[in-house]
Structure 1
Amino acid sequence: MKLLSWNVRGLGQSRTVNRLKNMLRDVNPSVIFLIETKLQSKRMEGVRKSCGFINGIDVASNGRSGGLSLAWKNNSKVQVRSYSNRHIDVIFEEDLDGVSWRCTGFYEAPEVENREASWALLRSLDDMPDMPWLVIGDFNELLLASEKQGGRLRSESQMNGFRMDLTDCNLEDIGYNGIWYTWEWGRLSSNNIRERLDRGVANPAWLTLFTDYHLDHLVHSFSNHCPLLLTTSSSDQTRKQMHHFRFEAAWLLDESCEGEVRNLWNSCTGNIPDRLTRISLGLEQWFIRIKKEKKIHVKALQQRLKELSESQPNDDNLEEILETKLALNMEADREEI
């Protein structure tokens, strides 16, 4: 199973939704947990369905803050246990062995004065000690001072409260691959802050059940939080889909498209239906080549963004990060067209 958890920082604009769709097409998760949707339930349901997730639970935002959505593909077996404005708790049944395990999407209160209530909520959810349990999301807190760079030092009492909460629930951090931080603020080196606020934690039963899982911090071009992609098994494969010929509107944005159509038409003989058939086959080959080139370009941009994000921030570095994110967003816009 692939599970994507992301504080998207609002889905009120169509461009943001389109970029989310582009991300989901790229990683193809079977379950998504979205945080800070900033949408009412009905509108979030429409966004979720437009992303291809018919089934799900949508928790309304409080004005322009909050909002959660946990959604799953049709082939996932899910039992909903409880939900609130801070969590969505479900049980998954794996197809292969019929093994059941709990997953709680969690959003800890961003306000310091509300942390105790959030920690009490997590402790109250610890009511099935023998079942494998994963909690994933935005905890808005650090476990260690080393998980923060820039800005004011984190209060030791806050971090200790978080550590004690996880200990009481028999949960431990499951680690990650990728850049070390999940949240960033500030475009200049003088005010840049980086923190690891998003994570996955699990109990020993879950860690015993999934021995070859991995959690990746994905590079991103919008939201100040990075997406977390959990893969429960290294053998998980993206399903291949049937490809049907369609003329893509985005092809018209490529300078070589017109010339390719002209060359294919001129090189064909016979009646019009036969020529159109040959052109469609030729365009498919052209599209495969162009798509491969664009994929290489996007991967290069993502790799550069990863390198920049891992380096020590300075003004030149942060400026190039913005330019690289802009280039990635432009590619996402073309893809959406």
Structure 2
Amino acid sequence: MKIISWNVRGSGRLQTVKRLRQMLKLHNPQMVFFMETKLGRQQMERVRRRCGYTNGIEVDPEGTRGGLCLTWRNEVDITLSSFSKRHIDVFVDDNEKGCKWRFTGFYGSPYIQDRNESWAVLKSLATNKDFPWFVVGDFNEIMYGSEKKGGLPRDKRRMELFRRILKECQLYDVGYEGSWFTWERGNLPETNIQERLDRGVANMEWINMFQEDYKGGLSKSKMKERRKKQVLIRKLTELAKKERDYETLEELIDTKINLNFELEKEECYWEQRAQIDWIRYGDRNTSFFHGRALQRRSKNLIRKLKNKDGREMGDLQDMEGIARCYFKKLFSTE
């Protein structure tokens, strides 16, 4: 099943509707979730029908802010569960998978003062844990510093809160394919800001159910990132050999910044993957669990200690004597 989530930032203009129709014709998704429609129910219904979708649920905007719409093809069986100005929650009767799962289109408030209210809505939706659950939309928040480029750094407490909310809801980022950033403002390099505000998150039941699709989507993007990282490393090596002038130093610094950004991005990805893998396999009696246990044991094993003369001792009895003397001296009273 193909699903598109799109913050249209107003769908009343003819140019926007034209773009909508072209994109939907090109990708032909079974489900589409629109945010910031800024249109009343009747107006948005006319727009989606012009795009070829007869089924839909619309949520009115508050003045010129917000507005949501979830629409789907006739072959998809949808049952509405709940909706608000922040979400549309439905059950999908999936004929391909032969089961029912939850879909939630979510739109987080772009205003800091309303952020807690957005997270409260998400937490209230997480109380129903009986079905595989997929949440997609514009959360208007980032998880890590690497998900923002340009402008002032994001407050760490805000990012930690977002990660904690997702953890409490037992939702995990399902990755991405294509551009890392989903929102951009400013045309000039010095004013340009890019952020990854849109994402898909899901519980383990949903991830396990769509495991093949999930892995396939990640492999292409990771290969592209690996190539980009290799190019940056080669460029950095070449620049380091050049004569140091102003232009070379400027390019060297810029390349280092981009490489550090790519490394941080990869670190964030593997941190999320490690959490998912541990939840999926960690508490089972499998080779994965034993491999992790052996790896941790090997990492924590002390192989040598230095005595007071600076000599390295690897014998177990010698190491015990060195440790005993060290702590005896540390805790003795002068």
Q: Where on the TM-score scale, by shorter chain, does this alignment land: which range?
A: 0.5 to 0.7
Distance 2:177 2:188 in 1: 26
Asked if the contact 1:176–1:215 (Cα under 8 Å) also holds between the matched residues in 2, the reply is no
Distance 1:206 1:212 in 2: 11
> Which SS does the other structure have where 1:78 is aligned?
strand
The residue identity in structure 2 corresponding to 1:197 is L
Asked if the contact 2:31–2:70 (Cα under 8 Å) also holds between the matched residues in 1, the reply is yes
Distance 1:114 1:215 in 2: 35
> Which SS does the other structure have where 1:136 is aligned?
strand
Q: What's the counterpart of residue 95 of structure 2?
A: 95
Q: How many residues align?
A: 219
The structure where helix makes up a greater share of residues is 2
Shift of 1:15: 1.5
Shift of 1:214: 4.6
Q: What's the counterpart of residue 117 of structure 2?
A: 117
Distance 2:210 2:104 in 1: 16
CA radius of gyration, larger in = 2
1:64-103 paired onto structure 2 within 5 Å: 64-103=64-103
Shift of 1:54: 0.6
Distance 1:188 1:177 in 2: 26
Asked if the contact 2:107–2:137 (Cα under 8 Å) also holds between the matched residues in 1, the reply is yes
Q: What's the counterpart of residue 63 of structure 1?
A: 63
Larger RCO: 1 or 2 (CA < 8 Å, sep 6+):
1
Distance 2:215 2:138 in 1: 14
Q: What's the counterpart of residue 2 of structure 1?
A: 2
Asked if the contact 2:207–2:214 (Cα under 8 Å) also holds between the matched residues in 1, the reply is no
Structure 1 unaligned spans of 5+: 217-230, 232-306, 312-337
Asked if the contact 2:58–2:69 (Cα under 8 Å) also holds between the matched residues in 1, the reply is yes
Q: What's the counterpart of residue 130 of structure 1?
A: 130
Distance 2:215 2:75 in 1: 22
Q: What's the counterpart of residue 176 of structure 2?
A: 176
Q: What's the counterpart of residue 213 of structure 1?
A: 213
1:230-309 paired onto structure 2 within 5 Å: none
Distance 1:163 1:136 in 2: 15
> Which SS does the other structure have where 1:163 is aligned?
helix
Shift of 1:188: 0.3
Distance 2:74 2:137 in 1: 23
The residue identity in structure 1 corresponding to 2:165 is D
Do structure 1's residue 105 and structure 2's residue 98 form an aligned pair?
no
Shift of 1:215: 9.9
Asked if the contact 1:176–1:214 (Cα under 8 Å) also holds between the matched residues in 2, the reply is no
Q: Deviations over 1:189-236 (max 9, x none)?
A: 0100000000000000000110122599xxxxxxxxxxxxxx9xxxxx
Percentage of identical aligned residues: 48
Distance 1:21 1:194 in 2: 26
> Which SS does the other structure have where 1:26 is aligned?
helix
Shift of 1:61: 1.1
Distance 1:98 1:164 in 2: 33
> Which SS does the other structure have where 2:175 is aligned?
coil
Distance 1:98 1:77 in 2: 12
Structure 2 unaligned spans of 5+: 218-227, 233-334
Asked if the contact 1:30–1:72 (Cα under 8 Å) also holds between the matched residues in 2, the reply is yes
Distance 2:186 2:178 in 1: 21
Distance 2:30 2:109 in 1: 27
Q: What's the counterpart of residue 303 of structure 1?
A: none
Asked if the contact 1:172–1:201 (Cα under 8 Å) also holds between the matched residues in 2, the reply is yes
Distance 1:39 1:214 in 2: 34
Runs of 4+ off more than 6 Å: none
The residue identity in structure 1 corresponding to 2:75 is N
Distance 1:84 1:129 in 2: 20
